[in-house]
Amino acid sequence: MHFLYDLAIYVYGALIALAAFLGVQKAKEWKKGRRLERKKWKSIDKNKKVFWFHCASLGEFDQGNVLMQKIKSKETNAFILLTFFSPSGMNHYSKREHCVDAAYYLPLDTLSNAKEFVSFFSPQVAFFVKYEFWANHIIHAQKSGVKIFCVAALFRRKQVFFKWYGGFFRQILNAFDFIYVQNKESKLLIESIGLKNVLIVGDTRYDSVYKNCLSMTESQKEENNTNGVFDKFLLGEKAIIIGSSWPKEESLIIPYIKNNSDKKFIIAPHDVSKKHIRNICDQLKDNVVKYTDFTEQKGKNCLLVDTIGHLTNAYFYGEMAFIGGGFSGSLHNILEPAVFGLPTFYGPNINKFPEAIEFINQGIGFIVTDQKSLEIVIDKIDANLNELTKQTKEVIKSKIGAAELTYSHCKGLIG
């Protein structure tokens, strides 16, 4: 099976190269980044203790980042080595507050690449965040004496580890010294294949998002001293925020905006291309003003954020949030609005998002499927807003602490 895995990796690398040759931008970045990577590798002071974190992309970095910062604050000689699989992680992680000492692309997962990487950097500890299970890097690191942990992990019954033919992939899980999972279901699945080195710690994203949003609140004060667009638009009112919306969410909310001129709305679409922004403006007509055009409030009830980077600040001004991606199965971050106490609602395709299911179970998240259900949900939140806001903040605070629990436990294993 290992031979078949290696063959699949080589085929995967060839397909990426072909896609890059055909002009696929993400594939070009992926290939170029790895081709130039070894020239960028820098030797690490032998007196430093190398903590290697591997993340698929930016979302996983957000989960690992709070643990990195915890380690950096506790370990005086810690060197944080970060690897990414995706260009989106490599290109954007530096925009976050972080303590990373060096960041590189993870080489293609061949045995020779794994040996070269582990030998060059000599990590003492490795953390693979959530679901990145690259067999050669993990197994070779284990054989080299690296302490290896899987953090913020989330498992589902349909994954290959739990199939009759998944023996090789179960070997990968066996290589971890400990696996820190988000929920009880994941723990039971891991234990069902004979592994006992598993602990429920929760999702470190709650820690990370809570910290980031608090810092955003401070930066919001600075923005108010410069342009204050949100303040000037809202004039002391709260808004319904439509966060990272796709056309499906927009098709539901736009008629509602037109029919509710007494309410304020802020739309921050996922796609901020000129074509898409113009399309939304054409539909909303006299109801909307663009963020980049705003000078003063002139009776508009919808602010269209046609920029990147203002969504979290917008949540600070919200009372509830309609989150995009729930119809496609790519639900955007619902933790950010919840940190500010905003009840959230979203489309029904959320099976891969346990936090969305948890919010529903806790009564602070709601499913919408069509125009009628959207109106019902908004009315329901409106009628119970104060209680839902309080409850949402309490749920978020109850989930904080996964990073501290993970660090405290693994510290005893690392020594």
* Integer angstrom CA distances of residue 262 from 188, 202, 265, 357: 50, 40, 10, 31
Task: Indicate whether 342 pLDDT > 60.
Answer: yes
Q: Are 78 and 412 in contact (CB under 8 A)?
A: no
| 219-228, 248-257, 267-276: the lowest-pLDDT one | 219-228
* Integer angstrom CA distances of residue 292 from 277, 296, 310: 11, 12, 12
Centroid of chain to Cα 101: 21
Residue 271, Ramachandran bin (φ over 0: left; ψ between -120 and 50: alpha; else beta): beta
Residue 222's pLDDT band, with cuts at 50, 70 and 90, is: low
| 34-48, 76-90, 387-401: the lowest-pLDDT one | 34-48
Average pLDDT over residues 260-277: 95
At residue 217, the pLDDT reads 58
At residue 220, the pLDDT reads 54
Nearest to 239 by CA among 162, 300, 160, 149: 300
Strands (E) across 85-208 are located at 102-105, 125-129, 147-153, 178-181, 198-200
**CATH 3.40.50.11720: which residues of the chain?**
2-200
Residue predicted with more confidence, 27 or 110:
110
At residue 227, the pLDDT reads 55
Task: Indicate whether 3 pLDDT > 90.
Answer: no
What's the mean per-residue pLDDT of the chain?
91
The C-alpha atoms of residue 322 and residue 29 are separated, in whole angstroms, by: 33
At 167-218, the pLDDT tens digits run: 999 999 999 999 999 999 999 999 999 999 999 999 999 998 888 777 665 5
**CATH class for the domain made up of 2-200:** alpha beta
Average pLDDT over residues 259-287: 95
Above pLDDT 70, what percent of the chain? 97
Average pLDDT over residues 110-127: 95
Strands (E) across 198-336 are located at 198-200, 239-245, 264-269, 288-290, 302-304, 318-323
At residue 219, the pLDDT reads 55
At residue 185, the pLDDT reads 94
**CATH 3.40.50.2000: which residues of the chain?**
207-399
At residue 226, the pLDDT reads 47
Q: Which residues, 6+ apart, have CB-to-CB distance to 344 below 8 Å?
A: 320, 321, 322, 323, 334, 337, 338, 359, 364, 365, 366
Average pLDDT over residues 17-27: 83
| 41-50, 160-169, 185-194, 213-222: the lowest-pLDDT one | 213-222
**Which amino acid is present at 157?**
R
At residue 218, the pLDDT reads 56
Task: Indicate whether 223 pLDDT > 60.
Answer: no
For the chain, give the longest Cα–Cα distance. 67
Average pLDDT over residues 261-267: 96
CATH number of 207-399: 3.40.50.2000
Average pLDDT over residues 24-37: 78
Nearest to 132 by CA among 97, 82, 207: 82
At 284-339, the pLDDT tens digits run: 999 999 999 998 878 899 999 999 888 988 999 999 999 999 999 999 999 999 99
**Which amino acid is present at 104?**
Y
The C-alpha atoms of residue 389 and residue 363 are separated, in whole angstroms, by: 11
Residue predicted with more confidence, 279 or 18:
279
At residue 183, the pLDDT reads 93
* Coil/strand/helix, residue 359: helix
| 200-214, 239-253, 259-273, 332-346: the lowest-pLDDT one | 200-214
At residue 138, the pLDDT reads 97
Q: Are 305 and 239 in contact (CB under 8 A)?
A: no
At residue 225, the pLDDT reads 43
The C-alpha atoms of residue 300 and residue 290 are separated, in whole angstroms, by: 10
Residue predicted with more confidence, 123 or 10:
123
